[in-house]
Amino acid sequence: MDESDLLKSESERLEAFQELIGYRFDEPRLLLEALIHSSHVNEMLDAPLSDNERLEFLGDAVLEFIVTEYLYGKYPDEREGRLTVMRSAIVDRRRCAQLAVALGMEKYILLGKGEQLDGQTMRKSILANAYEALVGAIYLDGGVDRTRAFVLGVVEQHCPGVELESTGNYKAELQIYSQRNFQRIPHYVLLRSYGPDHKKVFDVAVSIGGTVYGSGSGPSKKAAQQHAARVALVRLQQIQPAAAVSTAAAEPAVEPPKRSSYELIAEAVLALGGHASIREVEHFLAESPYAKPSEVGSTMAAMCVDAPASSSVPEQWRVLERVRRGVYRHLHADAL
């Protein structure tokens, strides 16, 4: 079966799909190609068919251009970093898969038998690819103006205002917040990892300007960093509930919460992790603009009566570990 035969056999389904999406193709073969998954082509080796991967490649670029242009015009006061986060909320893979489902594409994508799952949900990657391929097909068929009308129409109908929602990329949001309000970027430190190789757990802390604002756990370093960033955003939003990411860069930085010397030492231990020595903690705090050396010194002395500076690292760590555990539980409780 070649492309012309497949067009004839699928004509009714293609017609129904065009009615469904509200766009009629001048070249129906482009729509057919957008709906052909590579698994379908692989099982029809004797048929000269093309899968939708090239159209997906084109559609991905067209989609990003249209959404970038749309956000640039709609939000003239937003800066590049925030616009990037907003764009991700519309064009990321999960959103494309959701829009494919909203358009009913899963009923029309041509799969190979190996990809056809009895009664199960189609893989999100297949749906996202098909949506991007559809955008590419419309671009080749009708040009940029008709493609723009289609893409923005789908967004307005199925996810209006989604660009104002969180994308789930807490690291990106925290970086924007930090640069706007502290003129610094967040710093992530691996505290520890534990568990068997097939089920590792990672603990990470995130600090800004020497101050730890959150810690998190996850099955990978990236997941733990996302959790830590989420904790930090929760705490920072408690300091300044307004949407700080939209604040002008020229505005004064947010003042961090007042903390006792005990809390500052605990934060240093959290950031350093591992077998940090008393001397390493002192050096860490010396770089923090929020720590008063005299107060921190006296508190350190009081904490370390059982482990003076001349003692071994393991002895010092036993003292600091009690602090770390208490603050670790506190920080995790803030995010839940």
Q: Of 10, 132, 141, 173, which is the active-site residue?
A: 132
Q: Of 33, 60, 141, 203, which is the active-site residue?
A: 60
Nearest to 204 by CA among 214, 195, 183, 194: 214
**Does residue 46 have an active-site annotation?**
no
**Does residue 51 have an active-site annotation?**
no
Active site residues: 60, 132
